[in-house]
Amino acid sequence: MPRRPPEAAAAEAVETLDARIRRLDPDRWLASRFVPDPATRATVVAVYALNDELARVAESVSNPLAGEIRLAWWRERIEAIAVGGAPPGQPVLQALASAIASGVLPPTLLDTLVEARHAELEPAPFADDAALARYLDGTAGAVMGLAARVLDPEAPLRAIVEAGRAWGLAGLYRTRAIWRSRARDWVPQSWGEPDEAGLASRATAEVQAALARARVELKALPVAAFPAVAYAGLAEPYARGRAPGELTRRFRLLVSVLRGQV
């Protein structure tokens, strides 16, 4: 039986990733529907799948060393592809290989995305607000930055910083129970030990402040790149513990993309 050409295998991998991100990361998936070109949209979805793979590392290992080894594997494979190496038989890397090799996905930003996940292997990784901000920039912010560069290579990364921080912090607040189930906690040590009401209030205030700054900075983002950040506008209801329904999310994303505002 003849082997499938690499292009066919990559196409199948993208289809599989699209279904996976629709299930696991529905807000980003919905925002990606506003990318008109199918090939570009598939690359953006593959970026989200890479983020999911890296996020799973801390959830799937029994000790920090095992997590560090897995993250090193991802870094080494990405670096090898960037210098012309063939991607391994891993669907996400196969789907991203062309964008990595061509430089569409900035190597430094990919490295940042991998490096930031090391914090999730520690029981109390963030000493203060600055440490938390670095993590948010390297996770949610890097994902937005990579997607924005796929959509427009000239997209200024500085424009998405606050949007990434708002989305990332809302996500941390929503998943605190998961962190604590693994004997970890993302709450910065400088925050002390706030009760749930105090933490909810602070998280909401921080997200609102980041979104206010984001609305100013995102004016510099090209229209073509806006689907990479449109879902950030959902951060506020999530921080309040009020997850909107799918129809509401679809409507808010549509309005966000049409207006170019989060």
The string of pLDDT tens digits covering residues 6-41 is 454 455 555 589 999 999 999 999 999 999 999 999
Total domains in the fold of the chain? 1
The residue-averaged pLDDT of 201-212 equals 94
Instruction: Give the integer Cα–Cα distance in Å for 76 and 204.
Output: 38
* Band of residue 257 on the pLDDT scale cut at 50, 70, 90: confident
pLDDT band at 1 (very low <50, low <70, confident <90, very high): very low
The proportion of the chain whose per-residue pLDDT surpasses 70, expressed as a percent, equals 94
DSSP H helix total and E strand total for the chain: 13, 0
CA distance 183 to 163: 29
pLDDT for residue 13: 52
pLDDT tens column, 93-142: 999 999 999 999 999 999 999 999 999 999 999 999 999 999 999 999 99
Sequence-distant (6+) residues with CB within 8 A of 219 are 159
DSSP 3-state assignment of 86?
A: coil
Residue 117: both structure tokens together: 């996940």
Q: Is residue 241 part of a domain?
A: yes
Per the CB < 8 A criterion, the answer to whether 235 and 173 are in contact is no
- Tell me, yes or no, whether 1 lies in a domain: no
E strands, 148-258, are none
Tokens of 243: 């997850």
Distance CA 236, CA 203 (A): 9
CATH code where residue 230 lies? 1.10.600.10
C-alpha 71/C-alpha 116 separation (Å) is 10
**Helix, strand, coil fractions of the chain, as percent rounded to 5:** 75, 0, 25
pLDDT score for 240:
82
Which position has the token pair 């980003």?
Answer: 28
Helical segments of 103-182, H only: 107-116, 129-136, 142-151, 161-174, 176-181
Q: Is the pLDDT of residue 3 over 60?
A: no
> 40 is in which domain, residue-wise?
6-259
pLDDT band of residue 224 (cuts 50, 70, 90) is very high
Looking at 153-162, 190-199, 222-231, which range is the least confident one? 190-199
Rounded CA separation 77/90 (Å): 10
| Structural domain includes residue 221 | yes
pLDDT of 4 over the 50 cut: no
pLDDT (0 to 100) of residue 15: 58
Contact at 8 Å (CB) between 20 and 28?
A: no
What pLDDT score does 2 carry? 38
- Residue 115 belongs to some domain of the structure: yes
Residue 39 belongs to a domain = yes
Please report which confidence band the pLDDT of residue 182 belongs to, taking 50, 70 and 90 as the band edges: confident
Q: Which two tokens stand for residue 187?
A: 């709450």
Asked whether the beta carbons of 203 and 169 are under 8 A apart, the reply is: yes
